[in-house]
Amino acid sequence: MDNNEKVVLQEASPAVPETEKAAENSMTDTAAVGSGETKKAEAKIKLPQFLTVSPSPHIKSPETTTTVMLDVLIALIPAFVWGVYVFGMRALAVALISVIACVAFEAAAQFILHRPVTIGDLSACVTGLLLAMNLPVTVPLWMPVIGAFFAIVVVKQLFGGIGKNFVNPALAARVFLFSWAAEMTRFTEAGSPVNSFMNTLPEADIVASATPLASLKNGALPDVNLFDMLIGNRGGCIGEVSALLIIAGAVYLLVRRVITWHIPVAYIGTVAILTFFFPQYDGVAWNFMVYELLSGGLMLGAFFMATDYSTSAVTPVGRLVFGVGCGAITVLIRYFGSYNEGVSFAILIMNLLVWYIDKVTMPRRFGGGKNGK
């Protein structure tokens, strides 16, 4: 390389400013500082708050367990108040005993198991009210206590608490209470309120009444007209008789986005299709179908118990499959079972299949291969 080329290269290379040289000297001096002083310097460095990121998912929502449970309680109140109006003040006593027992058992179980006591999230109150609404008004007052123990301690707390139970606690307790089948199948006539607070009612104080499902089981339409069936002027459990008020509460939950439409629509739609095309009635199939939809605990189960977060499917497709399965099993039990109602058993059976439904319907993760690998 000749001298001219050297001169050109030197001119092309930018001159290093004095400030950069000072910075380089400063960095060299800093590197020479001992480890103790370096740690002190690092400790003084603070990131701005907007650069502090929590682990994913990065979704912020004002909803908590307490707010969701409060919405469910608000949605249940109209149908429950109607049950008290139709069946008398004893219905209120059954509900109060059930709710108080559920809250007490939850607090005691969490204390014994050395877990945080979370009775303030209202989940035990929801379980207690749902259990009471699924009981006849004539049950002995000790039965809600036993049902509350089974729902809270056995079904919920022994499996880890809220969100870890694999079946609906209130429905599991209701089915467990069929160990006393005579008490669970003794219904009063609508318009004959029971105001006695005796532990066990004498037979003379009970005005027995056949439920609409009993008539449908025998291939005949009930004596109750459709309007009374809709508003709840009929026999049955405390909180299941008024389909209109149950639907009103469900609309509230849908507006509040506590539940989605998938499970209720699939559940009720499946029952409607099967009972319309395969009626157990020689008359007009349409009438038989409507009575089947308004009878028993179908509306209460479809909107308030089949939609339980921890015991129902996660994906939209899975929820549709879950609802269709509940509807098909309900009709199967109503038609061919020895018991007139099949809602509780259908939902519990589908609760046990949720893991498989989620596994099949869960979408593949982005970048994953077959079988989620």
For position 45, what pLDDT does the model report? 59
Q: Where does residue 370 fall: left (phi above 0), alpha (psi -120 to 50 degrees), or beta otherwise?
A: beta
Q: Note the pLDDT tens digit of each residue in 327-364.
A: 999 999 999 988 888 999 999 999 999 999 999 998 87
pLDDT over 90, % of the chain:
61
Q: Note the pLDDT tens digit of each residue in 244-275.
A: 999 999 999 999 999 999 999 999 999 999 99
What stretches of the chain show up as alpha helix (H) in DSSP?
Answer: 3-12, 18-31, 35-43, 65-87, 89-112, 123-133, 143-149, 169-176, 181-184, 212-217, 226-231, 243-255, 262-277, 285-294, 298-300, 316-336, 343-352, 354-361
Q: Which two tokens stand for residue 62?
A: 């004002």
Angle of helix 89-112 relative to helix 123-133, nearest 10 degrees, comes to 140
Q: Give 131: exposed, middle or buried? Use CB within 10 Å, 0-12, 13-18, 19+.
A: buried
Q: Which of 338, 342, 339 is nearest to 327 (CA)?
A: 342
Question: What would the mean pLDDT of 228-240 be, rounded to a whole number?
Answer: 91
Listed as own residue / partner, the contacts of 140-146 with beta carbons closer than 8 Å and 24 or more positions apart are 140/183, 140/199, 140/200, 140/201, 141/93, 141/94, 141/97, 141/197, 141/199, 141/200, 142/199, 143/177, 143/180, 143/183, 144/94, 144/97, 144/98, 144/101, 145/97, 145/98, 145/101, 146/176, 146/177
Question: What would the mean pLDDT of 71-84 be, rounded to a whole number?
Answer: 96
For residue 313, name the pLDDT band (cuts at 50, 70, 90): very high
Q: Which of 233, 239, 194 is nearest to 212 (CA)?
A: 233
Between 59-63, 154-158, 198-202, 365-369, the lowest mean confidence (pLDDT) is in: 365-369
For position 119, what pLDDT does the model report? 94
Q: For residue 294, what are the contacts with CB-CB under 8 A and spacing of at least 6?
A: 212, 226, 229, 230, 243
Question: What would the mean pLDDT of 193-215 be, rounded to a whole number?
Answer: 72
Cα 338 from chain centroid (whole Å): 28
Quick one: CA torsion of 256, 258, 262, 268, rounded to 10 degrees? -90
Q: Which two tokens stand for residue 254?
A: 């849908």
Question: What would the mean pLDDT of 74-83 be, rounded to a whole number?
Answer: 96
pLDDT over 70, % of the chain:
79
For position 319, what pLDDT does the model report? 97
End-to-end CA distance of the chain, in Å? 60
Instruction: Look up the pTM and report it.
Output: 0.81
- In the predicted model, is pLDDT for residue 373 greater than 60? no
* Top-confidence range, 8-17, 42-51, 223-232, 258-267: 258-267
